[in-house]
Structure 1
Amino acid sequence: MGIHDWARAALGQSLEAAKRDGFSEGLALRALLSAVVERSAKLRPADDLAQELTFLAENLDPERDYSFMRP
């Protein structure tokens, strides 16, 4: 299992726990994202973290074509 598979499994478990506690998935995801960003800010410079978050936000569309991709 790779680190991304591990992260997806951990996220799934957290969302199941949130659901059992009566929280919606959307609310739980927003809270988890905030907690991850807060924790990451203790380990990484703010500008580095901001660049990664910006990259992730700009690349949310799985249907988007990129200039560096070939057909």
Structure 2
Amino acid sequence: MSSGEVKKIDKETQKITLKHGEIKNMDMPGMTMVFKVLDPSLLDKVKVGDKVKFKAEKRNGALVVTAMETVQ
């Protein structure tokens, strides 16, 4: 899982903006970017400013968050 901070949540389009560290499974350096979410209910569990751990992968050409949990 990768670490990140929630910057924006868009429930209408089922997208989340994360400022994240390195995503090793995608060979991606840290940056801020928009991801789609596989399960829209993930967006109900976080708010802007939350620190999270998440899993992301490429599906049908889109970057998708497949799992996410808040970190204390």
TM score, norm. by length of structure 2? 0.23
TM score, norm. by length of structure 1? 0.23
Tell me: higher relative CO, structure 1 or 2? Use CA pairs within 8 A at least 6 residues apart: 2
Q: Which has the higher helix share?
A: 1
Greater Rg by CA: 1
Q: Which has the higher strand share?
A: 2
